[in-house]
Amino acid sequence: MRDRVDELGGKRSEAAEGSRRATDAQHAKGKLTARERIGILLDERSFNEVEQLRRHRATGFGLEAKRPYTDGVITGWGTVEGRTVFVYAHDFRIFGGALGEAHATKIHKIMDMALSAGAPLVSLNDGAGARIQEGVSALAGYGGIFQRNTKASGVIPQISVMLGPCAGGAAYSPALTDFVFMVRETSQMFITGPDVVRAVTGEEITQNGLGGADVHAETSGVAHFAYDDEKTCLEDVRYLLSLLPRNNRESPPSTPSTDPADRRTPRLLDLVPLDPMRAYDMRAVVEEIVDDREHMEVHERWATSVLCTLARLDGEVVGIVANQPQAQAGVLDIHSSEKAARFVQMCDAFNIPLVTLVDVPGFLPGVAQEHGGIIRHGAKLLYAYCNATVPRIQLIVRKAYGGAYIVMDSRSIGADLSYAWPANEIAVMGAEGAANVVFRREIAMSDHPDSTRAQLVKEYKAELMHPYYAAERGLVDDVIDPADTRRTLIRGLAMLRDKHVDLPARKHGNPPA
């Protein structure tokens, strides 16, 4: 038996250590090995590996002579801050992390285990796509991954961490997950690479220019987070996991807060200008409200006219959606509507209450927006809010005009509570635009149209846009002192903690595409 145990130890050592030459090559690229990455992601000594000694059984093209243990993917489970997390990590040192039949079967197994156990799944992606030598078997392996991604969607958190190349069909698995992390210079995602692009379209572009971290974080919106190095990236994956529940049957983990729940926020009185045309940074408002000024912004650099972030209020996780006046005056456009809708859906799926901070001048006008489908994309956000059953609180910070007011979780579409600051303006449109429509004839007939317009704008504001107009009609539950914002939100969320909604029986909805 001792001899057999020694033999087992040798095989485990071979599987764990791999080729020194391949390890050095990985480090030379500025990349960690798969096991080093898992060591950063999971709590120390918590990793339990599954099928470490798995080897492929393919033949042809020299494969039968090369059958390394793990077959290029490390799978198992461990803990992050004491909570179970499942993980698979491509090992680029073996077949370039390419997916074959055995490789895919290992991933399928760990995905099934994560779903059965009701625990998050993290994929550490660093692979060269399908293993060409195995042909259609490799492609079928990807199909099994996509099917499981879809089955687990909204049931367990799924996080994709891009730490190397991800091309072709392989890129669809991260796109099906809840969050995508990328590392600059070393990770890329694209359906067709630069060589194919050059051959088909004649365009010259580098791998990073086509599908690098900054491209997907700023332009395409595929990546939710982008980092300069792997260690920082993986540490933030750990932080994100600390804000998410294990599955859709649980609430996010709460933590004791040292930030007093009744802390006043008088600084908000000076952060937001009264003039609705003046810009300010909504992040400063969020930081003043949340626990210890800490929050984790999702899609920080894409569709920047809306801000989506995870934070805590009195130790409880909340999702915050807020217009950002610093970018395009905080308008809703195609991308910001899609960004906010996806975030609202994620929060609703994982029992994260929603707080919506409103300062919106409307939807972005223009031919490009209309032809690009702003109606369809704006409806995505409307659908997401209307469909959400988690506690929902709306706070109108300054202005809320037109259809954008309705879409930003108004009382009319189901917000549980709606508050407003004393300077709020809720109207079909801004006073100047409204006066030009309502009093067009009077202005045109006036001997002094400018002064007449100014007077009529003033009258319109006094009649329909004063801060208490919505409160008098029950569309706002209360007008509050900005200094009481944190306390008011925490009390409202505490009251709503056990909220329950019964939805109509249906297979699923049919949201705008």
Are 353 and 320 within 8 A, CB to CB?
no
Is 143 considered catalytic here?
A: no
Is 373 considered catalytic here?
A: no
Given 193, 403, 414, 433, which residue is catalytic? 403
Strands of 47-82 (E only): list them: 48-50, 73-80
Angle at 406 between CA 400 and CA 412, to 5 degrees: 125
Are 72 and 66 within 8 A, CB to CB?
no
Closest Cα partner for 213 from 200, 222, 201?
Answer: 222
Given 135, 144, 154, 168, which residue is catalytic? 168
Q: Cα Rg for the chain, rounded, in angstroms?
A: 26
Distance (Å, rounded) from C-alpha 374 to C-alpha 334?
5
DSSP state of 474: T
Which token pair is 327? Answer: 């970018």
Q: Classify strands 83-90 and 73-80 as parallel, antiparallel or unpaired.
A: antiparallel
Is 403 considered catalytic here?
A: yes
Is 96 considered catalytic here?
A: no
Given 102, 152, 404, 420, which residue is catalytic? 404
Distance (Å, rounded) from C-alpha 212 to C-alpha 233?
15
Are 408 and 394 within 8 A, CB to CB?
yes
Phi, psi of 20, deg, nearest 5: -65, -40
End-to-end CA distance of the chain: 61
Closest Cα partner for 485 from 325, 296, 276, 271?
Answer: 271
Given 169, 193, 414, 433, which residue is catalytic? 169
439 CB-side CA count, 13 A: 20
Active-site residues, by number, are 168-169, 403-404
